[in-house]
């Protein structure tokens, strides 16, 4: 079954580190909602009859900038053009400053059953540095309100590697997050993306990025800490209490089909070779204009051969707790990694980066997770590594 991703491109201000597509100037969302519903209709006609939808994910930008009325219209459009009777999970990204109790109750009333909350830090110093809208008090307040509104499935996003963040702030962030009996926590290393205000500050020498060793130490600490508190580290950035893994994200890691709608949204469809991946235009005005003319707002499309899919599969599966199943890799992707990379696998095991291979499954150790990209590069088939 497929996933549906809905990109809502509005934010009230720009976070220093962010390179997602969003605009901060739109006061009216009418044109966007109209265009989005047209895109849902077009994609529903094309793909809706092929697979039912199992997960819906509202991301952004900031979906919580939309009114409940606009959200209801979007959800009605999805239900009208896709088969949604088997939906298991509907996730909604929300920022603390938007999360009034009324709004949260309204979301629950629209059958949204999982929230991804952009906390990032419980400290004002970090939040100011990142130019987040909310403050530490709102970050703590939102969790109680989320529960009051009837959400027992939610995730908190936290960022480590923030320049000048005292070490004790990071451990306190984890402590506070898990202290609310939070079912899911996602942790991200702050990366300096090109053309962001943060990259500009670094270029001008006004901010010194955290070095790789320190980031790696924080990540190691995070793994030890959250696993000791009963969280499964089921994907490099994702920690969940049993029964609370993100179903939608699993689709990205397992080459399941998904359709993305909204400006800059990505889609993936594999129904015979080559598989297809495409992304929408990263420009709200053009996106709306194209859809008003009933044109699909695609920016780039890529065709993926089985070899390309195999490389992706190796990268994606090594990030997960299930690991890379060598039998599946051979049967579905035609790559016999065990024979092709026997020495590399032995070296990685000897170095403590992967567990001893059992039942043909390669799984990273905690040490391997700290250098996941390097381990992946070592295992990619000889012609691409
Ligand atoms: S709220 Fe999210 S999408 Fe918007 S600028 Fe901040 S990080 Fe980026």
Map residue 90 onto helix, strand or coil: strand
Compute the distance between CA of residue 301 and CA of residue 248 in angstroms, rounded to an integer.
Answer: 22
Compute the distance between CA of residue 245 and CA of residue 233 in angstroms, rounded to an integer.
Answer: 10
Tokens of 309: 């899919």
Ligand 1 nearest atom to the CA of residue 95, by list position: 1
Q: Which residues line ligand 1 (CB under 6 A)?
A: 11, 14-15, 18, 20, 22, 60-62, 95, 118
Hey, where are the domains in the chain? Answer: 2-251, 307-379
Q: Is 310 a residue whose pLDDT tops 90?
A: yes
Whose CA is closest to 182, among 146, 213, 136? 146
The model's pLDDT over 197-254, given as tens digits with 9 standing for 90+, comes to: 999 999 999 999 999 999 999 999 999 999 999 999 999 999 999 999 999 999 999 9
Query: Strands (DSSP E) along 61-195, which ranges?
Result: 89-94, 114-120, 154-160, 184-189
Whose CA is closest to 32, among 2, 55, 65, 57? 65
pLDDT at 26: 77
Q: What is the pTM of this model?
A: 0.96
- With a CB cutoff of 8 Å and minimum separation 6, the contacts of 122 are 136, 139, 140, 172, 173, 176, 177
Q: What is the Å distance from ligand 1's center to 18 Cα?
A: 6
Note the CATH architecture for domain 2-251: Alpha-Beta Horseshoe (3.80)
- With a CB cutoff of 8 Å and minimum separation 6, the contacts of 11 are 22, 23, 24, 60, 61, 62, 65
Q: Is 383 a residue whose pLDDT tops 70?
A: no
Q: What is the Å distance from ligand 1's center to 293 Cα?
A: 30
Q: How many residues does the chain have?
A: 385
Q: What is the Å distance from ligand 1's center to 15 Cα?
A: 6
The model's pLDDT over 73-124, given as tens digits with 9 standing for 90+, comes to: 999 999 999 999 999 999 999 999 999 999 999 999 999 999 999 999 999 9
Q: Is 178 a residue whose pLDDT tops 70?
A: yes
Tokens of 78: 């999805």
Q: Is 385 a residue whose pLDDT tops 60?
A: no
Q: Which helix (H) or strand (E) holds 310?
A: helix 306-318
Q: Is 384 a residue whose pLDDT tops 60?
A: no
For the four alpha carbons of 231, 234, 239 and 241, in that order, the dihedral sign comes to negative
Fold exhibited by the domain 307-379: Arc Repressor Mutant, subunit A (1.10.10)
Strand partners, 9: none
Per-residue pLDDT, averaged over 258-262, amounts to: 98
Q: What is the Å distance from ligand 1's center to 186 Cα?
A: 16
Compute the distance between CA of residue 98 and CA of residue 62 in angstroms, rounded to an integer.
Answer: 9
């Amino acid at each position: 079954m497929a996933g549906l991703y809905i990109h809502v491109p509005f934010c009230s201000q720009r976070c220093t580190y962010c390179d997602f597509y969003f605009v901060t100037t739109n006061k009216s969302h009418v044109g966007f909602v109209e265009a989005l519903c047209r895109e849902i209709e077009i994609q529903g006609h094309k793909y809706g009859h092929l697979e039912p939808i199992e997960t819906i994910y509202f991301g952004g930008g900031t979906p919580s900038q939309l009114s409940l009325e606009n959200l209801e219209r979007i959800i009605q459009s999805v239900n009208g053009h896709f088969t949604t009777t088997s939906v298991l999970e509907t996730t909604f990204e929300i920022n603390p400053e938007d999360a009034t109790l009324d709004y949260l109750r309204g979301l629950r009333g629209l059958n949204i059953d999982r929230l991804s909350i952009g906390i990032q830090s419980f400290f004002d110093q970090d939040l100011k540095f990142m130019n987040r809208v909310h403050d530490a008090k709102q970050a703590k307040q939102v969790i109680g309100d989320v529960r009051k509104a009837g959400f027992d499935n939610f995730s908190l996003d936290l960022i480590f590697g923030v320049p000048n963040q005292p070490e004790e702030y990071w451990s306190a962030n984890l402590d506070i997050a898990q202290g609310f009996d939070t079912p899911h926590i996602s942790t991200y290393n702050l990366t300096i993306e090109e053309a962001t205000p943060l990259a500009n500050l670094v270029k001008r020498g006004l901010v010194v990025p955290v070095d790789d060793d320190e980031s790696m130490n924080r990540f190691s600490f995070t793994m030890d800490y959250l696993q000791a508190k009963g969280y499964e580290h089921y994907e490099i950035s994702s920690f969940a209490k049993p029964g609370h893994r993100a179903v939608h994200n699993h689709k990205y890691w397992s080459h399941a089909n998904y359709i993305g709608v909204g400006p800059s949204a990505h889609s993936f469809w594999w129904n015979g070779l080559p598989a297809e991946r495409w992304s929408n235009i990263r420009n709200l005005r053009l996106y709306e204009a194209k859809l008003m003319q009933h044109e699909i707002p695609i920016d780039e499309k890529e065709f993926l051969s089985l070899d390309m899919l195999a490389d992706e599969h190796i990268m994606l599966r090594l990030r997960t707790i299930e690991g890379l199943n060598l039998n599946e890799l051979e049967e579905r992707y035609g790559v016999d990694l065990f024979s092709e990379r026997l020495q590399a696998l032995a070296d990685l095991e000897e170095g403590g980066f992967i567990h001893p291979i059992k039942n043909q499954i390669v799984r990273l150790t905690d040490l391997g997770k700290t250098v996941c990209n390097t381990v992946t590069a070592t295992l990619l088939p000889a012609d691409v590594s």
